[in-house]
Amino acid sequence: DRALDATLAVRPRHLPSVVALLRQMDMLQGSGLRLANKVRECVRAPTLVVFGGQALDAADASTACFPPALEHAVAKAIAAQLEAIGAEVGFSSASAGSELLFVEAMLDRGAEVHLFLPFSEADFVRHRVAYAGSRWERRFRSACKLAASVTFATDEAYLGHDALLRFNNHLIQGMAQAQAQLNLTQPHLVLAWDYAADSREGSAADFMDSWPDIGTLHLIDLDELRAQQPPTPDSGPGQAVAAA
């Protein structure tokens, strides 16, 4: 028992070995060998997490969903949710705001991260990152460097087609579900969501509508986090995004 407990306590886990062990257990049980309940219960399948979320508000945003002042609270909420789930492998895009906060939280956990960009990197930075300032651009470059993989839904330019954002979400979901099948598990969806945010193609709300299993959906309510923030004189919708 002590040897088993010590082995299971090692972090981060070597996931290919975990999956191989689970397959061997299934094979042995299928052959009629009885395994101790503790062994089977303790060796859990890898925990895969898909993330979708609200981008940081632009300076001219008409509605405050994710103001810059909320960054710390969102980062803390994401880290807490990942800890509660036991996240080990993540799938996400990398827009300024909650997506990059998710990537950073996963990397801080020593977890594996796979990034998916909906169009060319230059256009992605131009439309989804640069508006938030140079600090977020540096974080984006770091995320791409440290990710296990970076996949492009297309290498074409954005050209204002939000359908590319929806297609990228479908790609993320499909790749995560395929990987989950190989890892004998089911993926979770974590969303940093706001009921008042735009629900157009590729949004967090659009992602939630296409998710097949509500039992594996976990919401981080941005409205609730904003309500917990102390008011500031310049915390209105048009608050400028810090570029530091």
Q: Under 8 Å CB-to-CB from 104, ≥6 apart: which residues?
A: 75, 139, 143
Give the whole-angstrom CA distance, residue 146 versus residue 104: 10
pLDDT band at 103 (very low <50, low <70, confident <90, very high): very high
Q: Is the pLDDT of residue 203 over 90?
A: no
> Picking from 46-50, 76-80, 100-104, 200-204, which range would have the lowest pLDDT averaged per residue?
200-204
Of residues 169, 204, 177, 190, the one with CA closest to residue 65: 204
Helix (H) or strand (E) holding 150: strand 149-152
- What would the pLDDT profile of 12-65 be if each residue is shown by its tens digit? 766 667 666 666 766 766 777 676 665 665 677 789 999 999 999 998 887 889
Output b/e per residue, 4-19; b: 16+ Cβ within 10 A: eeeeeeeeebebeebb
152 three-state secondary structure: strand
Give the whole-angstrom CA distance, residue 73 versus residue 65: 13
Q: Is the pLDDT of residue 118 over 50?
A: yes
Dig out the tokens for 42 from the structure. Answer: 């303790």
- What would the pLDDT profile of 128-147 be if each residue is shown by its tens digit? 999 999 999 999 999 999 99
Judge whether 113 and 148 are in contact, CB under 8 Å: yes
Does 12 sit behind a cis peptide bond, omega within 30 degrees of 0 on the bond before it?
Answer: yes
Position 206, amino acid: D
pLDDT of residue 57: 93
Dig out the tokens for 228 from the structure. Answer: 């917990």
DSSP H helical segments within 43-120, as ranges?
71-85, 98-108
